[in-house]
Chains A and B, each alone.
Chain A
Amino acid sequence: MADQSAAPLLIDLTDQPIDVAAVLHAAESDEAGAVNAFIGTVRNRSEGRRVMRLHYEAYPPMALHQLRRVAEMALEKWPMLRKVAVSHRHGTLEIGDVAVVVAVSTPHRADSFAACEYIIDTLKEVVPIWKKEEYEDGTVWVAAHP
Protein backbone atom coordinates (compact mmCIF):
# COMPACT_ATOMS: atom_id res chain seq x y z
CA MET A 1 0.00 0.00 0.00
CA ALA A 2 1.08 3.53 -0.70
CA ASP A 3 1.92 5.72 2.24
CA GLN A 4 -1.36 7.50 2.95
CA SER A 5 0.43 10.38 4.64
CA ALA A 6 1.95 11.37 1.30
CA ALA A 7 -0.25 13.34 -1.07
CA PRO A 8 -2.32 10.65 -2.80
CA LEU A 9 -2.16 10.41 -6.53
CA LEU A 10 -4.77 9.29 -9.01
CA ILE A 11 -3.02 8.33 -12.24
CA ASP A 12 -5.16 6.86 -14.97
CA LEU A 13 -4.93 5.99 -18.65
CA THR A 14 -8.19 4.85 -20.17
CA ASP A 15 -9.85 4.04 -23.47
CA GLN A 16 -13.24 4.94 -21.98
CA PRO A 17 -14.79 8.43 -21.67
CA ILE A 18 -13.21 10.33 -18.77
CA ASP A 19 -15.54 11.03 -15.83
CA VAL A 20 -14.46 14.64 -15.24
CA ALA A 21 -16.41 14.96 -11.99
CA ALA A 22 -14.74 11.84 -10.60
CA VAL A 23 -11.26 13.21 -11.38
CA LEU A 24 -12.13 16.54 -9.72
CA HIS A 25 -13.54 14.67 -6.74
CA ALA A 26 -10.33 12.65 -6.45
CA ALA A 27 -8.38 15.92 -6.08
CA GLU A 28 -10.53 17.30 -3.27
CA SER A 29 -9.14 17.52 0.25
CA ASP A 30 -10.43 18.99 3.48
CA GLU A 31 -7.01 20.62 3.86
CA ALA A 32 -7.26 22.40 0.51
CA GLY A 33 -8.99 25.68 -0.18
CA ALA A 34 -8.23 25.46 -3.86
CA VAL A 35 -8.89 22.82 -6.51
CA ASN A 36 -7.52 23.70 -9.92
CA ALA A 37 -8.22 21.68 -13.04
CA PHE A 38 -7.14 21.64 -16.65
CA ILE A 39 -9.45 19.90 -19.10
CA GLY A 40 -8.06 19.20 -22.57
CA THR A 41 -10.67 18.61 -25.26
CA VAL A 42 -10.59 17.75 -28.94
CA ARG A 43 -11.01 20.85 -31.12
CA ASN A 44 -12.30 20.91 -34.66
CA ARG A 45 -9.47 22.85 -36.32
CA SER A 46 -5.69 22.51 -36.42
CA GLU A 47 -3.43 24.88 -38.34
CA GLY A 48 -6.31 25.94 -40.55
CA ARG A 49 -7.52 22.45 -41.38
CA ARG A 50 -10.78 20.91 -40.32
CA VAL A 51 -10.20 18.02 -37.92
CA MET A 52 -12.73 15.18 -38.06
CA ARG A 53 -11.45 13.19 -35.06
CA LEU A 54 -8.28 12.32 -33.15
CA HIS A 55 -6.49 9.07 -32.53
CA TYR A 56 -4.37 8.82 -29.39
CA GLU A 57 -1.84 6.00 -29.19
CA ALA A 58 -0.16 5.26 -25.88
CA TYR A 59 2.71 3.09 -24.64
CA PRO A 60 0.71 2.18 -21.53
CA PRO A 61 3.26 0.93 -18.96
CA MET A 62 5.70 3.75 -19.70
CA ALA A 63 2.92 6.36 -19.99
CA LEU A 64 1.60 5.44 -16.54
CA HIS A 65 5.12 5.41 -15.09
CA GLN A 66 5.99 8.79 -16.59
CA LEU A 67 2.63 10.31 -15.56
CA ARG A 68 3.41 9.25 -12.01
CA ARG A 69 6.90 10.74 -12.31
CA VAL A 70 5.45 14.07 -13.46
CA ALA A 71 3.03 14.10 -10.51
CA GLU A 72 5.87 13.25 -8.12
CA MET A 73 8.02 16.06 -9.55
CA ALA A 74 5.11 18.45 -8.96
CA LEU A 75 4.93 17.23 -5.35
CA GLU A 76 8.62 18.01 -4.92
CA LYS A 77 8.23 21.50 -6.35
CA TRP A 78 4.99 22.23 -4.45
CA PRO A 79 5.16 20.36 -1.13
CA MET A 80 1.85 21.94 -0.15
CA LEU A 81 0.02 19.91 -2.82
CA ARG A 82 -2.67 17.85 -1.09
CA LYS A 83 -3.85 15.73 -4.01
CA VAL A 84 -2.99 15.21 -7.66
CA ALA A 85 -5.34 13.50 -10.12
CA VAL A 86 -4.57 12.91 -13.79
CA SER A 87 -6.61 10.94 -16.30
CA HIS A 88 -5.60 10.62 -19.95
CA ARG A 89 -7.64 9.06 -22.70
CA HIS A 90 -6.38 6.94 -25.57
CA GLY A 91 -8.06 5.47 -28.61
CA THR A 92 -10.30 7.37 -31.04
CA LEU A 93 -11.85 10.63 -29.82
CA GLU A 94 -14.50 12.77 -31.47
CA ILE A 95 -14.67 16.58 -31.51
CA GLY A 96 -15.49 17.87 -28.02
CA ASP A 97 -14.39 14.71 -26.25
CA VAL A 98 -12.24 15.12 -23.15
CA ALA A 99 -8.67 13.91 -23.84
CA VAL A 100 -7.06 14.72 -20.50
CA VAL A 101 -7.97 16.03 -17.05
CA VAL A 102 -5.38 17.29 -14.55
CA ALA A 103 -6.70 18.32 -11.13
CA VAL A 104 -4.73 19.41 -8.08
CA SER A 105 -5.57 20.80 -4.67
CA THR A 106 -3.58 23.09 -2.41
CA PRO A 107 -4.38 25.26 0.62
CA HIS A 108 -4.18 28.46 -1.46
CA ARG A 109 -5.00 29.12 -5.10
CA ALA A 110 -1.73 30.47 -6.54
CA ASP A 111 0.08 27.18 -5.93
CA SER A 112 -2.71 25.14 -7.47
CA PHE A 113 -2.71 27.19 -10.70
CA ALA A 114 1.08 26.85 -10.95
CA ALA A 115 1.20 23.12 -10.16
CA CYS A 116 -1.63 22.31 -12.57
CA GLU A 117 0.08 24.22 -15.39
CA TYR A 118 3.39 22.51 -14.65
CA ILE A 119 1.79 19.05 -14.78
CA ILE A 120 0.01 19.52 -18.11
CA ASP A 121 3.03 21.23 -19.71
CA THR A 122 5.45 18.52 -18.55
CA LEU A 123 3.03 15.73 -19.48
CA LYS A 124 3.03 17.01 -23.05
CA GLU A 125 6.84 16.86 -23.14
CA VAL A 126 7.58 13.46 -21.63
CA VAL A 127 4.58 11.11 -21.46
CA PRO A 128 4.61 8.63 -24.37
CA ILE A 129 1.22 9.33 -25.87
CA TRP A 130 0.91 10.26 -29.53
CA LYS A 131 -1.85 12.17 -31.27
CA LYS A 132 -2.85 11.63 -34.87
CA GLU A 133 -5.20 14.17 -36.40
CA GLU A 134 -7.67 12.92 -38.97
CA TYR A 135 -8.77 15.43 -41.61
CA GLU A 136 -11.23 14.98 -44.44
CA ASP A 137 -8.33 14.11 -46.75
CA GLY A 138 -5.77 12.31 -44.63
CA THR A 139 -4.03 12.01 -41.27
CA VAL A 140 -0.99 13.60 -39.61
CA TRP A 141 0.98 12.59 -36.49
CA VAL A 142 1.06 15.80 -34.44
CA ALA A 143 4.49 17.35 -33.72
CA ALA A 144 6.37 14.53 -35.43
CA HIS A 145 8.38 16.70 -37.82
CA PRO A 146 10.37 19.93 -37.34
Chain B
Amino acid sequence: MNLTVSLFGIAREIVGQPSLTLTAPAGQSAAGLLAELRTAYPALAGLRSLAVAVNNEYAAANVELHERDEIALIPPVSGG
Protein backbone atom coordinates (compact mmCIF):
# COMPACT_ATOMS: atom_id res chain seq x y z
CA MET B 1 0.00 0.00 0.00
CA ASN B 2 1.01 3.61 -0.46
CA LEU B 3 1.22 5.94 2.53
CA THR B 4 1.44 9.70 2.36
CA VAL B 5 3.18 11.35 5.30
CA SER B 6 2.98 15.11 5.95
CA LEU B 7 6.10 16.72 7.35
CA PHE B 8 6.48 19.81 9.50
CA GLY B 9 9.16 22.00 11.05
CA ILE B 10 12.59 20.46 11.37
CA ALA B 11 11.36 17.10 10.02
CA ARG B 12 10.35 18.83 6.78
CA GLU B 13 13.78 20.46 6.58
CA ILE B 14 15.59 17.16 7.22
CA VAL B 15 13.63 15.33 4.52
CA GLY B 16 13.69 18.33 2.20
CA GLN B 17 10.04 18.26 1.17
CA PRO B 18 6.62 18.87 2.75
CA SER B 19 5.34 15.32 2.28
CA LEU B 20 6.53 11.84 1.42
CA THR B 21 4.74 9.03 -0.38
CA LEU B 22 6.13 5.61 0.37
CA THR B 23 5.24 2.01 -0.20
CA ALA B 24 4.64 0.02 2.98
CA PRO B 25 3.64 -3.58 3.71
CA ALA B 26 0.02 -4.16 4.76
CA GLY B 27 -0.28 -3.86 8.51
CA GLN B 28 2.62 -1.43 8.78
CA SER B 29 2.62 0.08 12.28
CA ALA B 30 3.41 3.60 13.42
CA ALA B 31 6.63 2.30 14.99
CA GLY B 32 7.51 0.48 11.77
CA LEU B 33 7.06 3.66 9.76
CA LEU B 34 9.26 5.59 12.20
CA ALA B 35 11.99 2.96 12.00
CA GLU B 36 11.91 3.06 8.23
CA LEU B 37 12.09 6.85 8.11
CA ARG B 38 14.94 6.99 10.63
CA THR B 39 16.88 4.57 8.44
CA ALA B 40 16.23 6.63 5.32
CA TYR B 41 16.89 9.97 7.06
CA PRO B 42 19.33 9.36 9.95
CA ALA B 43 19.09 13.01 11.13
CA LEU B 44 15.52 12.24 12.29
CA ALA B 45 17.04 9.99 14.97
CA GLY B 46 18.80 13.03 16.45
CA LEU B 47 15.57 14.79 17.38
CA ARG B 48 14.44 15.00 21.01
CA SER B 49 11.22 13.22 20.06
CA LEU B 50 9.38 12.13 16.94
CA ALA B 51 5.75 11.05 16.96
CA VAL B 52 3.39 9.72 14.32
CA ALA B 53 -0.06 11.29 14.11
CA VAL B 54 -2.93 9.48 12.42
CA ASN B 55 -6.07 11.44 11.60
CA ASN B 56 -5.10 14.26 14.01
CA GLU B 57 -4.37 11.97 16.98
CA TYR B 58 -1.02 10.85 18.35
CA ALA B 59 -0.65 7.20 17.39
CA ALA B 60 0.60 4.51 19.76
CA ALA B 61 3.54 2.45 18.46
CA ASN B 62 1.37 -0.54 17.50
CA VAL B 63 -1.32 1.41 15.61
CA GLU B 64 -1.76 0.01 12.11
CA LEU B 65 -1.61 2.45 9.24
CA HIS B 66 -3.99 2.43 6.30
CA GLU B 67 -3.75 3.90 2.86
CA ARG B 68 -6.42 6.53 3.41
CA ASP B 69 -5.17 7.66 6.82
CA GLU B 70 -3.96 11.22 7.21
CA ILE B 71 -0.47 10.54 8.53
CA ALA B 72 1.95 13.16 9.84
CA LEU B 73 5.35 13.15 11.45
CA ILE B 74 5.42 15.33 14.58
CA PRO B 75 8.86 16.60 15.67
CA PRO B 76 9.16 18.18 19.16
CA VAL B 77 6.43 20.82 19.49
CA SER B 78 7.24 24.29 20.79
CA GLY B 79 4.15 26.44 20.56
CA GLY B 80 3.05 28.93 23.19
Report which A residues bind B (CB closer than 8 A): 40, 56-59, 61-63, 65-66, 88, 99-100, 120, 123-132, 141-146
Contacts of B10 in A (CB 8 A): 130, 141, 144
Once A and B bind, how many residue pairs between them come within 8 Å at the CB atom?
A: 79
Query: Does B30 belong to the interface (CB within 8 Å)?
Result: no
A-B CB proximity, top 3 nearest: A129-B79, A130-B9, A142-B78
A62 to B59 Cα, complex, angstroms? 12
Q: Are A143 and B76 in contact (CB under 8 A)?
A: yes
- Least CB distance, B55 to chain A, in whole angstroms: 9
- A-side interface mostly: mixed
Contact of B53 among A58, A99, A128, A144 (CB under 8 A): A128
Interface bracket on B: 20 to 34
- Least CB distance, B60 to chain A, in whole angstroms: 14
Chain B stretch 35-70: residues in CB contact (< 8 A) with chain A: 46-48, 53, 56-58, 70
Closest to A121 in B: B80
A69 to B72 Cα, complex, angstroms? 18
A63 to B78 Cα, complex, angstroms? 12
A57 to B13 Cα, complex, angstroms? 12
Contacts of A141 in B (CB 8 A): 9-10, 13, 75, 78
